[in-house]
Structure 1
Amino acid sequence: MRITSGYQIIQKLKRWVTFTGGLLLIAACSQPHEPVNLAGNSWLGYQPLFVYQELNPDSSITSKLKLHLLPATSNVVRLMAEGQLDGGLLTLDEALSYQQDVNDPLCVAKVLDISLGADALLMQPNWRAQPEPLKIAHEIKTVGSYILDRALAAGVFEGREIISVAATPNMQVELFNSKQVDGVISFYPTLGELKKLGAEIIFDSRQISGEIIDVLVIKRSIWLQHQQHIESYIRQAWDQTVSKIKTRDHKVMELIAANTQMPLESVSSALANLKLIGATRPQEFDLERATTSLQKYLLDNELLREPVKLDYCMVESR
């Protein structure tokens, strides 16, 4: 039986207040506006940007650009589409999918990281003995759907029928622990919690190397208006915080642990499952090649309706 302590309840309430407060703050903004509003979930690869903001709350740079921590990518995508966010932290496949349905297209301000095992499909220990269809929980229309499709193509379910169960990351551990689902597609910190419950990893991002790429995307119209302070923020935030992550600065590790709700002692090993990139130009990371390869797969499998263009903001603004 899973027991929720008083401390855990208080932390959940704090996270809910932070989340709803963030939504109210975003909703209060209208175009054009200051500061630029961006958001992402608690993914490890996004932490250099979040941690910088927490360490420098009163700087002139952070006053012009605000990052909001939201519980799920689906929240980020919805608020971007509604015009309440100017950009977001997404995987490359999510950015491409978003791009096909908007009038204000995106550009990539920074390639953040590549997942090397930090996203995975995890199953109940006895999943092979369970009746069909197998129920797999994941966030719909996000990287979870993409990983499920790639896992099916790789034949990991041995031809068995599966059905998707819509579940944001904050729902997934409970669904798995109560055996309401046979498997979960998730990422750290949820991935770490599921492993502690005995989950078996049957497919992860190492098996599709270079395909799960995280990016900071900005609406092109916003980039053209605010390029200078967006560029200053992401360069300074990324360089300073990544440097501290490499030396395992204790304060930075504590903030990452708090933001991801991960035990402090687990942060370093979790970070080993991704590669921090921090690219803003083709010379630093070949975004065109990655986008072309990923887009071909999405089109071939009818996950995209038509080809879309997505390039570096720096390239497009020249």
Structure 2
Amino acid sequence: MKRRFWVISLSIFMVFGCQPQHDPINVVGNSWLGYQPFYAQHKLNPEQQPQGIHITMLVSDISVVRMLTNQAASVAMLSLDNAISLNSRTNLDLCIALAMSSSDGADAVLAAPNFLPELSKDGPIRVGMEDSALARYVVSRWIEEKSIDETRLQRHILLPTGHISALKNNDVDVIATYAPFTQILAEQGAEVIFSSQEIPDEIIDTVVVRQDAWRLHKERLLSFITHSWDTALREAQTPDSDVFKAMMKLSGLSATELRTTMAQLKFYDSQTSREFLATRYTEVSNIVSSHLAEAGLFSTPRSLPVCEGVLE
């Protein structure tokens, strides 16, 4: 009887004890539309992602950075400028695993209609913006392209969820923001005075990973940025799919509004991402790093390399 017990115990150990254990991988990002295919997929079809992947949509980039720096997350969806700035200012030692999309009008500076005549004058401009490298980058490129004296700017730091009410309540004169807030503000009468269409391929959305986590979870993360992303993106670009409908709810946009806003993004599948990272990434990252350094976000840029094995 005792021998039988040990045989049964050994069998149970072999069946259950030898199963591969998957350490959790925490992925974070803000509410940006370009990240929402992953959010919707994670909610509706978690089986389409590698085991142990946990994705959380946070309120702002400030929260994303906090999760990365306190090691509560090892993977983040960030714009390239935010990723370069963070990597240059910290010892997180990040690498870029995926180029998700390029902004083609989805990031913009909008003005209250009654303030438009004031733009050409010399008075102060109250600028509402998130406290992020991306917002600072967009504002710096706006004043550069439109020849606006920087000393006129009075920056008001706001969470993205407060952008609409701030302009509506006349708390600010212009807002630097992104979709879906750009779409909502435009529908309420705000005027687009600058957008990422004027700086093509400078605002790139990425998946970045702490390199120690990449080495530890490389196979699962490779699957995440290829099979999982390609599946999520394909469904997000299919009207009436469950993922598309979930994105409507996440963004608060109608089907027509969502299609219009998504058209302001050039999405990259995993193959297009690899092509971009292999051919144009170095040039684009150098341009972005130069502007960020000039804006005073850091003194010396630190290289943000492509994660090992992504280009193979």
Distance in structure 1 (CA, Å) of the matches to 2:103 and 2:142: 16
Distance in structure 1 (CA, Å) of the matches to 2:135 and 2:295: 15
Cα offset for 1:132?
A: 3.0
Distance in structure 1 (CA, Å) of the matches to 2:307 and 2:104: 26
Cα offset for 1:141?
A: 2.5
Matched, 1:213 2:201: no
1:202 corresponds to which of 193, 197, 200: 193
Distance in structure 1 (CA, Å) of the matches to 2:267 and 2:294: 29
Percent identical pairs in the alignment equals 26
Deviations 1:89-109 (A, max 9, x none): 111010011001222310111
Distance in structure 2 (CA, Å) of the matches to 1:115 and 1:168: 20
Which residue number in structure 1 is paired with residue 171 of structure 2? 180
Matched, 1:43 2:32: yes
Long gaps (5+) in structure 1: 1-32
More helix by share: 2
Letter in 1 for 2:97: A
Size of the aligned set, in residue pairs, is 285
Which residue number in structure 1 is paired with residue 126 of structure 2? 135
Letter in 1 for 2:114: N
Distance in structure 1 (CA, Å) of the matches to 2:169 and 2:287: 39
Which residue number in structure 2 is paired with residue 302 of structure 1? 296
Cα offset for 1:52?
A: 1.7
Provide the TM-score with structure 2 as the length reference.
0.84
Distance in structure 1 (CA, Å) of the matches to 2:307 and 2:220: 13
Which residue number in structure 2 is paired with residue 241 of structure 1? 232
SS at 2:131 equivalent:
coil
Which residue number in structure 1 is paired with residue 287 of structure 2? 293
The answer to whether the Cα contact below 8 Å between 2:237 and 2:244 also exists between their aligned partners in 1 is no
Cα offset for 1:60?
A: 7.9
Long gaps (5+) in structure 2: 1-21
Letter in 2 for 1:309: S
Cα offset for 1:145?
A: 1.0
Rate the CA distance shift 1:104–1:279 in 2: closer, same or farther, 3 A.
same
Cα offset for 1:155?
A: 2.5
Matched, 1:83 2:77: no
Aligned-pair Cα RMSD in Å? 2.2
Matched, 1:104 2:98: no
The answer to whether the Cα contact below 8 Å between 2:103 and 2:264 also exists between their aligned partners in 1 is yes
1:190 corresponds to which of 181, 185, 190: 181
Give the number of the structure whose alpha-carbon radius of gyration is greater: 2
Which residue number in structure 2 is paired with residue 230 of structure 1? 221
Cα offset for 1:142?
A: 2.9
SS at 2:27 equivalent:
strand
The answer to whether the Cα contact below 8 Å between 2:133 and 2:297 also exists between their aligned partners in 1 is no
Provide the TM-score with structure 1 as the length reference.
0.83
Distance in structure 2 (CA, Å) of the matches to 1:207 and 1:123: 17
Cα offset for 1:156?
A: 5.4
